[in-house]
Structure 1
Amino acid sequence: MPVARSTKAQSIKQPRAGKAPSVTENVPPEKEEGCQAKRSPSSPQGGPKKRSAFGDITNAHKNQAVTGKKEGVKAPTRKATRPPPALVVAKNNEINLKKSLRKTPPTDVPVEPEKDSVSEEPVQVPVVEDIDKEQLGDPYASAEYAKEIFDYMREREEKFLLPDYMEKQPDISRDMRAILVDWMVEVQENFELNHETLYLAVKLVDHYLVEVVSMRDKLQLIGSTAVLIASKFEERCPPCVDDFLYICDDAYKREELIAMETSILRTLNFDINIPIPYRFLRRFAKCARASMETLTLARFLCEMTLQEYDYARERPSKLAASSLLLALTMKNLGGWTPTLEYYSGYCAQDLHPLVKRLNFLLTYQPCDKLKAVRTKYSHRVFFEVAKTTPMDMMKLEEKLKS
């Protein structure tokens, strides 16, 4: 397939003012969470381009203390036939308070254990760190809603689980899909698009092929149109239609590209907010306090799976968690912490099979001709993580068990 023209794409991509950090700067992932980092070997000199309960408002407890004293000391009797209004209100408040607290005991009064209950040793609850408290003052981080947002994305995963659609595609094979994704990685690099755009575009291709039987001569048209739709969804300044016609070497006409865009959107009912592993990966790396180099290694592992059809049916959150766990293990940075287990929803044992598969994929690349991802992450702006030596399978097994 044709190689995209980098000079034209760079003229389209508008630089973002005030965000030009150093190439080798080790940016912590919690700061990187609020922006969309893009790095491209086509412009390494630019480096990373950014992208309580109610209080006691009554005197009920005071009234309880007064009534308790009456048991030990007899209070002088009064001749008053009608109690003062204040005591009536206090008595009513006491009754209402007791009614409201029948199910739940008050938090400020310790509940004595029953005599017949067996004393148990205190259980040590694992400490879970609040990873969003540091960004509560940042209006762009949406820290107050971050947990609910990712819980919602986890729920949407159930809607976008992919079946095995290659069985009903007579003219398209897994190898053709891998070649298409490899080309889409080059397009993302040359246009300097966000990584989210690439992941979403691949998802759009897969979900479209689930519903529509396509021929191999239309596969590149589907891929380029998917990148166009994903760019409109993710980018501030998406490339225009002419740019996508150019990268296809004028193999398609403008009318065909626009018609394919309409077909994809109608087939997916315009619901293209599909959960992708990249977003979960940034969230989980923030939980682990991982460095930028460790996060980049996990990104490389996760992006390697885009070309593999066998990984297309994995849950995005599980794929992201497994990529991070393998990166942490390769860097000897510990295992799956209680904080990661809480925010990801996966325990370490749930991830071990997928972690082993990822390490096998890293060790034995199926096709040597598809090198777009490895070449991309071999650049110094990506810490050359593609050159990291894979782990021995026996050592990986021992570390996962420990």
Structure 2
Amino acid sequence: MITHSRTSAQCVLNDISNHNRGSNAAKMRSDATNSRLNDFCPQPCDVDNTADGVDERHFDDPTFVADYANDIHEYLRSRESSTSVSPFYMKSQRNINEQMRQILVNFLVDVHFRFGLVQATLYLTVNILDRFLSSEEATRVTRTNLQLVGIATLLISSKFEEVWALTSTDCVCVCDNAYSEKEVVDMEASILWALNYEINVPSAHTFMVRYLTAVNATTDVVSLSNYVLDGTLQSYYLLNFLPSQLAAAAVFISRKTLGEDAWCPELVRHALYCEEDVLPVARAVIAVKVYCSAGLFAVERKYGRGDFEVGGPSIVELCSDF
């Protein structure tokens, strides 16, 4: 088990003032969520996304499951609306708010990086967190146990995605013994019960990997795309967009930043979005980065060192003409 420096995340969470919630705030149902997402977000282009040689390049590597890759991607696209959460779910929360969520995700990004977990684990963690917080079970979540919810979602995700998963002892350690192992395990069970054990869901990272593979992206584009997409996790506002749209925006921004053609026919074919559809999503992602809350720089710390180093001019500066 790695050593972990003391974090002030719990203290910050406890210091944030609670927002008053109207007594008439109703929980959004899944059909309302899908309707809102469809109204707000650009719709996919009607294009042919059949195999064009992208998957054939990986037939010799069984880890790419090239024979089924296109079918898998189509299946994920068909499920992303049903596994996304309402962009209004905080209205049903009386004890927590958007800023608390932002601080918690910042903490989870730090913990995820320090344990050296895979990217898929991080995105699944945030998805589980949002889906649980939007459930009826989460009405009992308060400032004092919000970090417990967060670390339990990371525990669940690591068990699903990692070869060597976290343990309840690891979770207690990174929370500075604020909770017991029993509390962590009990919260894990509560989350799984509230989500009906539905853990295998599409993520923005999965879509992004597909898009980057389609254009045979360079190392710089891959690194910058991951950096941009990780930055979307903290924003409650970006829940207005579907995972596939955020993934497309991350690739768009990184290619434009590095001087490449921002969008190309291969991306239209595999992402099913035209450039004019991706552009408003990219603008929203850039806007969120411009107004990033002070002190919440876990993503910058992650990509500012080692194999994740991202240098050069600011993305905001290079994309100011969006």
- Residue 153 (str. 1) matches residue 153 (str. 2): no
- Secondary structure of the 2:62 match is coil
Change beyond 3 A, Cα 1:394–1:180: closer
- Residue 258 (str. 1) matches residue 256 (str. 2): no
Matches within 5 A, 1:1-400: 5-6=3-4, 129-163=52-86, 164-211=88-135, 212-213=138-139, 214-362=141-289, 364-385=290-311, 388-392=313-317, 396-397=321-322
Deviations along 1:101-147, whole A, 9 cap, x unmatched? xxxxxxxxxxxxxxxxxxxxxxxx99984201111122222000000
Deviations along 1:174-229, whole A, 9 cap, x unmatched? 11111100110111111111111111111111000101211111100000000000
Change beyond 3 A, Cα 1:242–1:322: same
Change beyond 3 A, Cα 1:396–1:134: same
- Secondary structure of the 1:312 match is helix
Cα separation, 1, equivalents of 2:180 and 2:247: 37
Q: Give aligned pairs, total.
A: 275
Cα separation, 1, equivalents of 2:169 and 2:319: 51
Contact map agreement 1:135 1:143 (CA 8 A) in 2: yes
- The AA in structure 1 aligned to 2:313 is T
Cα separation, 2, equivalents of 1:315 and 1:180: 21
Cα separation, 2, equivalents of 1:6 and 1:248: 9
Change beyond 3 A, Cα 1:342–1:126: closer
Contact map agreement 1:128 1:339 (CA 8 A) in 2: no
Contact map agreement 1:172 1:216 (CA 8 A) in 2: yes
User: How far off its partner does 1:393 sit?
Assistant: 8.1
- The AA in structure 2 aligned to 1:178 is Q
Change beyond 3 A, Cα 1:273–1:225: same
Cα separation, 2, equivalents of 1:375 and 1:326: 20
Q: Which runs of 5+ in 1 are unaligned?
A: 8-124, 398-402
The aligned counterpart of 1:45 is: none
Cα separation, 1, equivalents of 2:195 and 2:318: 40
After TM superposition, the structure 1 stretch with the greater mean CA deviation from structure 2, 133-142 or 323-332, is 133-142
The aligned counterpart of 1:400 is: none
The structure with the largest helix share of the pair is: 2
Cα separation, 1, equivalents of 2:237 and 2:203: 16
Change beyond 3 A, Cα 1:243–1:334: same
- The AA in structure 2 aligned to 1:366 is C
Cα separation, 2, equivalents of 1:236 and 1:272: 16
The aligned counterpart of 1:12 is: none
Q: Given the two structures, how large is their TM-score scaled by the length of structure 2?
A: 0.81
- Secondary structure of the 1:252 match is coil
Which structure's CA Rg is the greater one?
A: 1
User: How far off its partner does 1:233 sit?
Assistant: 0.2
Q: Which runs of 5+ in 2 are unaligned?
A: 6-47
Cα separation, 2, equivalents of 1:276 and 1:261: 21
Cα separation, 2, equivalents of 1:304 and 1:250: 28
Percent identity reads: 31
Aligned-pair RMSD on alpha carbons? 2.1
Cα separation, 1, equivalents of 2:218 and 2:300: 21
Change beyond 3 A, Cα 1:394–1:290: closer
Cα separation, 2, equivalents of 1:359 and 1:258: 38
